[in-house]
Every structure is written in C-alpha cells, then in structure tokens.
Structure 1
Amino acid sequence: MPTSSTSASRASSRISSMQRFLGLAAIVAMLAACGTTPLPPLPPVAAPAPAPSAPVVDNEVPLPAPITFGKSRWVPVRWAELPGFNDDPLHEAWNAWLRSCERPMPTIGALCADVRRLSIASAQEQRAWMTRRLQPYRVEPLSGPNEGLLTGYYEPLLDATRQPTATSSVPLYGVPAGLASRRPWYTRQEIDTLPEARAALRGREIAYLADPIDTLGLHIQGSGKLRIAEPDGRQRLVRVAFAGSNEQPYRSVGGWLLQQGAIRDASWPGIKAWAQQNPQRVNEMLWSNPRYVFFREEPLPEGDASAGPRGAQGVPLTAGRSIAVDKDSIPYGAPVWLASPGPLVNLQRLVMAQDTGSAITGAVRADYFVGSGNEAGEVAGRLKQPLRLWVLWPR
C-alpha cells in the first residue's frame, strides 16, 4: 500500500459502490544484459503510421538488445509470451493511457497522438497498433528471482466532522509549522504524546474521524474521500491528499502483530478484527509504525466527483488499470502488461505505471489500484500474490 511521496491513492467512476465493485471483480476475475544500454530511440512522430488493421508478424521482427533501467533489467520477448494479451478488453485501459498522456515522459509522449486517435478504435485495431509500435520487455531484477509481489491499495471513503465530537475525535492534520526544520519530524507516538508536537499541529486540523484504525489506513493509502458533516447540517464530499510526512520509516502494523504472535491473518480486515478485540493495545500497535502523514484538502473535479486522486505521475488514477511501481525500475507513464495468478483474483491485463509508494521497492513489485470505498478496501486489504511484469516500450 503506497504512501506516495508526491500524491497518493485513489479511484475511478462506478455506477454505485457495490455495483461498480462487483463489475470490477468480475472483470478482474476474467481477467531488468549486464551494463547499461540506452533506451531505444523512437521514430519521428511525423512519420506516417501503417494502417491499424495491419498487425506486425511478431516472429519476423528481430528482437532488440536487453535494456538496463535503474535497478531492473528489461529482456525483450515476443508478444506471444504475454499471457492473456488477446483477451484483455483494452478499451478499459485506454482512459488510463489518455490520463498518462496529460503528463507524459518524452519517449512515451511521442505515442500520445496515436493513443488519442485510437481511443474510439476497436480492440482489434488497438491491439494491432500496440504490436506494431511497441516492444514487450520482461522486467527482471538485476539479481534474484524473476517473480515478484503484487499487493493492492484503494481510496478510503470515510465519514468525518469539522470539529471534534464525542464520537469523532481522531484528527487529520495539515502540514505542521516547522516541518522542514526538523528532519525527521516527531514519530507517531511522539505526535500523540509530546506537548511540543501537539503544539506544532494546533490549528492544522482538517477534519476528525471516529476510528484510529481508519485514520491509520488513510495514512497508509495516502489519500481518501471524506463525507464531512458541515456545521450548517449539509454533507460535503471532499478529497484529502498527501501533503507530506514526518519522514520516519514505514513499518507494517500487520508485520508487528505477526511478530507478536497476535494474529495469523495480517490482512487489513484481520488487523481491524484484532483491534476490535484488543482496544487496550491499539495505541501500542499504532505506535509500532512511526511514519505519519499530513494532508491537504482538495475539491473534487466539477462534473466528475468520482474521479480518482492523482498519483505520483501527477494524473488521476483509474481503478483496475493503474499501478504503483518502483520508479527506479519502471518509469512513470509506461504501459505495462501485468500477470498475477492468485487465490483472490486472476489478473492478465494492460495497466499504466502512474504511482509509487514507500513500500513499493524492487523491479518486479507493484501495488494495484482497486478503486474507492469499503468494497475496494476489502479486496485491496487481502491482495498479496505472485507477479510478473512486462514493460511495453516504443520500438
């Protein structure tokens, strides 16, 4: 679950929370040589493109040299290696690709004119264009096993108040005064207990939540939506986005509970169940993670209240089609083929690298953005399964 150093965790549109989740679940269920080699140059944008109905014959194209990108090695492969490539409904990923084209890196950005043109094309035309213009590279670590780990994250939707009440007393804070002058800043335990830390945060309260576990979850996810009961009685939907952190290390509370022998199920639902049964030890568990996140309030986009929050690339995330990656292994905005068989979901699909997180490290490592709300949270909290990745890079 990422706590993004730039932005955060996020969602896309759905008919209703449950209907959207069920729809996503159904789709989901169906659903780097040694030395450094420069990234291959992209053909000039002005060059005429072949007709989209003329796919390349993959076996007739010589494979390029492997690429070393940061901490990963990219090994060129044939399109036939990508599991499920012919079955993915690509139009579901195209909106996420269009989002990446809002803030593209130069090499990928040169494809954006075609990406926009093909937004209303058939899946067959989109697939033919991809096989002609892109080369798949299997992502591998510079050393160690090629199989990685997929986890999930989501955008919480929580009830909140502007002022503390008898039932809502856990604050969400904006960036405190003097944060830049003290690095790292106070730990989570010190923020809760030291008068000088509390004084620095006085007047920085954005809203108040009822449950400290939900608050921790919001810190871990990095952003969320709040249904705020305003003093005039109206309810307002707002987003709180990552604005900074105390720069303390992130430590998993689930891992702490496992070390304590307190639980066997370290999923988020399992953690919440333990907290309900052990209220006297909740602070001890919370303080095991010294990292603390500060937020800023953002209005939701006009006409699209369900739009996802911005990831580290700076564009809104798309449920089921955005992933957080280690930016030293896969660049932001890169189209990626993801394959992850598992007991929870079976994923074989096109996704976009649009976010990162402090816990997302390594070449074959991704956090899959599930969506927003409680149902998405249930999936994200339990998603932990094997992963293979292929970067789709311009020829």
Structure 2
Amino acid sequence: MSVWIDVAGLPAERMVFSPSPLAELGTALHALAEPAHHPGLHGWTTATASALKPDLADRLCEADFLWGPTFSDVSMPFAALADAAGQPGATLAEDLDLLDRLDDEVYVNAALEISCTSSFRFGSPSPLVDAESRRLALERATARGPRQVEFAQRLLADPPGVRAWIRRLFEDCDQAFFADVWKRVRVQLAADARHKAEVLRHKGLAGALAEISPAVTFDEKRSRIVVDKLLNGHTTALDPAVGAGITFIPTSFGWPHLMVLHAPGWRPVIHYPVAAPELSGPASVALLESRLDALAHPMRLRMCRNLARTAYTTGELAAAHGISAPEVSRHLAVLKKAGLLQTRRRGRYVLHQLDLPVVARLGSDFLEGVLR
C-alpha cells in the first residue's frame, strides 16, 4: 500500500521546500488534542494545556476534529491557490490570509472531509451545493457526536461566520502559546528546508527524498514519488489547474506522522517530521505486515518462547514441540524471512535465536505505521 505522486518531467524549481506557520500550528494543536500520539512531547502538551484559558480551551475542543485524530487540509491553503506557487506564508498572518482566499466551497469541503465525508478525495461536489453531499456530511457528523453535528450545521449554514471564528481561534492560539513555539522552531525548520533544497540541487530528487524519510522514495522508472502508508492513493504534481509542482513542509511537532495531501484540485504536499526519537529507521508497511503474519501462527508463537530465551537447533525445537524437523524448518524460514531471527553456526549445528531488538521494536513500528 502506498500513495504515489506523478512527477514526470517536473523541473526541480517546481519542488518547494518551505516551513509553514499554519501547518505547524495544526500539528501543535494535534499534539494537544492527541497527546498519546506524541509521547516525546508530553512535557510540552501538559504545560501548554494546563496554561490555556478556559474560553480558549473550550473553543479548541469545539473544532478539534480539524486537527484531532487526523488533519484537515485547511492548514495548507497555499496548496489550493494556483498563484501561490506552492509557497506557504512567511508568518501565521500571511498563511491565514491565504486561508481567507479559499472560496467557501473549497473551504467547507476541506473542513468536513476528515470526519464527515468519504468521497472528498475523489472530487465529490461540495455539501454547500450538492444535497446528497450535504446529507452524507451531516450523517457522518452525527456519528461523531452532538458537538461535531452542531459545528457542521453552523459551517454549512454560515460559512463566512464560521471561517471568521476559526481565524480568530488561530490568532488567539498564536497569542496564547504559538508565537513562542514558532519563534523557537522556525530556525530549525527553515534550516532543514534549505538543506533539503541543496540536496535536491546536488543529488537529485531521490537524494532529497532519502533525507526526508525511509518511507518516501522515488520510483525513477515510473517517474513518481512513492510514500509507504497504510492506504492507497495517487495524484499528480502536473495539474495545470492548480499549477505544476509539489511542496515539502518540515514539521517539528509531526513525528510519527508523515502526511501527504493528495486531494483533487490541490497541489500535492508532503508534510514530514524533521526529527524522530531515538528509534529510527522504521520498518516498511510490507515488512511490518510480514512480521505480524509470521507471529500470528500459534506454533511459531510457541517456538518464539524458546527462541527468546536462548539459541536452539532445528532438532531441539522439533523435540520440544513434538513436530518433525522439516516442519520446524518451514516455520523458521518464515520467521527468518520476516527478519525476526538471528542464525549462527556452531560446528555442524545451526543455532537460531529471536532477534530481540527487532521484536522489541514491533510495537513502535506498528504505531508509526498506522499513524504515518
């Protein structure tokens, strides 16, 4: 599974690396709303949440579906404006001005696509102009609870009023905490963007993508960027309607999320974390699936109890579990193919043992895979 972006013939100057204050505010709000996704930010989320004024905290809860479990594309308005050339604003105010320039249909569709519709990415009509889209939006909002129903109804009834309310909310967040956050992280993000742009110039697209994440690669044969994720999707960086190009946005708050904006009518964006915790080099989705499948078999799981403690030969495992040596060999082959075993030779014997550091990473690999 993956998301791929067609970049055939796209010149390097159409590939923009730049931080975005609004996108970073979105990830900061997400960390506040979903602290379990970001254990490394526990100190910041606890201190910031406890310091929020009650009115601001209540308003953040009212609209948290825009940045809660998943993210709304309203945090990247530059991607929907052809004349922005894929370039975010230099300040939060500039990004918010770009957001104000989106027409109501694009804005509402983007605001409701995360939890109120399932067809946005396939170019469905806006619920402002299409009765069926409106019905589906409200139906899905109802499944999320009364707070989201009320917000969706307000947004559909009065887009200008709710848009002004959201802008004030972002501005109040800036005054309460984000101005200090942005002052602290913008230098790091700008330096990262400059570095990636230099790598693009000197080593090409494949080299720049390798610097972003092991989950982002360049399929040179098909001239497309491939992002390893637990979903399938595709878009093009060559859409003349929004302007050819792709934007790469670094984030300090983003890990473990690696987000790809691939909605129709929007310029593609890859929003990538600039730093990860000490556990680096996550397994690919395919490798993670193979490891989970390998451990799902009850006999292999029982064998792992032995292999976690010490090294065993095939014959010893056969005797311990009452099965034939060829059957043990087949199970060991599956575990080894999944990268879960270490094997060494002692004289004429081959000893097998569970690779404990790899197994210990399964939890974090799984979490990063599903949150990516």
Whose strand fraction is larger, Structure 1's or Structure 2's?
1
Q: Would you call these one fold, judging by a TM-score over 0.5?
A: no
Which structure is richer in relative contact order (CA contacts within 8 A, separation 6 or more)? 1
Structure number with bigger Rg: 2
Scaled by the length of structure 2, the TM-score of the pair is: 0.24
More helix by proportion, 1 or 2?
A: 2
